[in-house]
Amino acid sequence: MKNITHSCAVAIFAIMLGGCAGQHMSTRGSGNTESIGGSEPQMVAITPELVAPQRTVVPVPTELTSYRPDTYHIQPGDTLLVTVWDHPELTTPAGSQQQAVANGRLVQADGSFYYPYAGKMKVSGMSIEELRGTLSSRLAKYLRDPQLDVNVVGYGSRVALQGAFTDTSPQEITTVPLTLAQAIGKARIDVEQADLSGLVLTRDQRNYRLDLDALNRDGSVAPPIYLKPGDHLFLPFNDRKEIYVIGEVLRPQAITFKTTDMSLTQALGRTGGLNPVTAKGAAVYVIRGMEDVPRTPARVYHLDASSPTAFALGDRFPLHAGDVVWVGPAGVTRWNRFLTQLLPLSGIISNAAAAQYDMGRGN
């Protein structure tokens, strides 16, 4: 019976040791790596030559920075208040006690505008001064030397906002030019859920992606970008921008990030760092490209973090959304886990063998 028990224990040891050995990744070439999704991953060591020396400057499209709004031009949807001095019947037809908007006149969707004695006219695209001159010349046929003023009391031109803003209400384009920074400041970014690197400005059916994090980083300030009527701003949420840190770290978890990128050292730091008891410092891996494995092999980056100086390299190695960071266990950890799992099984086998022996003696 003792030989039977010993043979079973050896068999269990062999099976479990093989399972532990399967956790190791070799960096000696693709021929020694494990298959991921049916294809051999490419192993790349994280070295000083691999990491970028510094972040590159993200340019802003010239057509955005070169645009400068000139004098305000009347747009469909605007409400215009025309004041004709000494003629209150034309200035405040709704009564002097009413608000200015109530006495104003709306520019129709086709850009037309009607005013008594001046008739219907096309005003969309006109400046305030141009409309004042046109009205003066037309009213001069009925009024002696008319003195009038034109003000916009309601604006039809707006910028639409969508996504991770606290306030997504449309913002008006007024006689005072509106910049991108002002619009974002008024809308207020949801800093916990926003992806600052993914802002999209849509203008004239073209999308411009603007990385707010990169444009306002390392002491730099984004150049002023003036908005136009009809512009659309979309700020995505960061719920799909995740990094997965697993293995021998203190708090394995999925990490969302709102900036352009996150360094390997930052990701490890958010999980509490390597487990000082169970982790193998020389076995830190970043697995990239798992979502496209059927078409292209995944790439595995290896960092030997057994030396504290290695974290300087990790701080310069940017992670991408979807990356998996895996920290392997130390050899003693695999052995301790093996013993933890083996000893209960050995007890069960020993008890079963003893029971079978007792039953045999009883027969």
Phi, psi of 301 (to 5 degrees): -100, 135
When pLDDT is averaged across residues 194-211 and rounded to a whole number, the result is 93
User: Tokens standing for 283?
Assistant: 């076995």
User: Tokens standing for 172?
Assistant: 């008006």
What was the pLDDT predicted at 163? Answer: 95
Q: State yes or no: pLDDT of 115 exceeds 70.
A: yes
- DSSP strand pairing (199-203 vs 206-210): antiparallel
- Domain contains 322: yes
Query: 15 falls in which pLDDT band (50, 70, 90)?
Result: very low
Q: State yes or no: pLDDT of 73 exceeds 80.
A: yes
What was the pLDDT predicted at 310? Answer: 84
Query: 8 falls in which pLDDT band (50, 70, 90)?
Result: very low
Quick one: which H or E segment has residue 362? helix 331-362
* Higher per-residue confidence, 221 vs 351: 221
Q: State yes or no: pLDDT of 96 exceeds 90.
A: no
- Domain contains 353: no
* Higher per-residue confidence, 20 vs 215: 215
- DSSP strand pairing (318-319 vs 262-263): antiparallel
User: Tokens standing for 173?
Assistant: 């384009």
Average pLDDT of the chain?
80
Q: Which of 273, 328, 330, 322 is CA-nearest to residue 302?
A: 328
- Contact call for residues 186 and 167 (beta carbons, < 8 A): yes
- Domain contains 146: yes
Total domains in the fold of the chain: 3
- Contact call for residues 281 and 306 (beta carbons, < 8 A): yes
Report the share of the chain in percent with pLDDT over 90: 41
Which 8-state DSSP code applies to residue 198?
G
When pLDDT is averaged across residues 3-32 and rounded to a whole number, the result is 42
The reported pTM is 0.68
What angle separates helix 331-362 from helix 2-21, to the nearest 10 degrees? 160
- Per residue, the 3-state secondary structure of 58-91, as one string, reads CCCCHHHHCCCCCCCECCCCCEEEEEECCCHHHH
CA distances to 29, 87, 125 from 71, rounded to whole Å, are 65, 28, 10
Look at residues 154, 188, 205 and tell me which one is the last residue of a structural domain: 154
Same domain? For 97 and 136 the reply is yes
Pairwise CA distance, residues 225 & 68, whole Å: 8
Phi, psi of 42 (to 5 degrees): -90, 125
User: Tokens standing for 118?
Assistant: 């001046």
What is the CATH classification number for the domain harbouring 188? 3.10.560.10
* Higher per-residue confidence, 91 vs 236: 236
Which residues are registered as beta bridge partners of 246?
326
- Contact call for residues 180 and 227 (beta carbons, < 8 A): yes
Q: Which of 47, 330, 281 is CA-nearest to residue 268?
A: 281
Give the structural domain span for 215: 62-69+157-235
* Higher per-residue confidence, 358 vs 232: 232
Same domain? For 195 and 222 the reply is yes
- Domain contains 92: yes
Placement of tokens 């000696």 in the chain:
28
Q: State yes or no: pLDDT of 202 exceeds 90.
A: yes
Interval 267-325: pLDDT, tens: 999 999 999 888 998 999 999 886 665 666 778 999 998 888 888 888 889 998 889 99
Look at residues 183, 204, 235 and tell me which one is the last residue of a structural domain: 235
- Contact call for residues 321 and 259 (beta carbons, < 8 A): no
Q: State yes or no: pLDDT of 18 exceeds 50.
A: no
Look at residues 116, 134, 154 and tell me which one is the last residue of a structural domain: 154
Interval 153-174: pLDDT, tens: 899 999 999 999 999 999 999 9
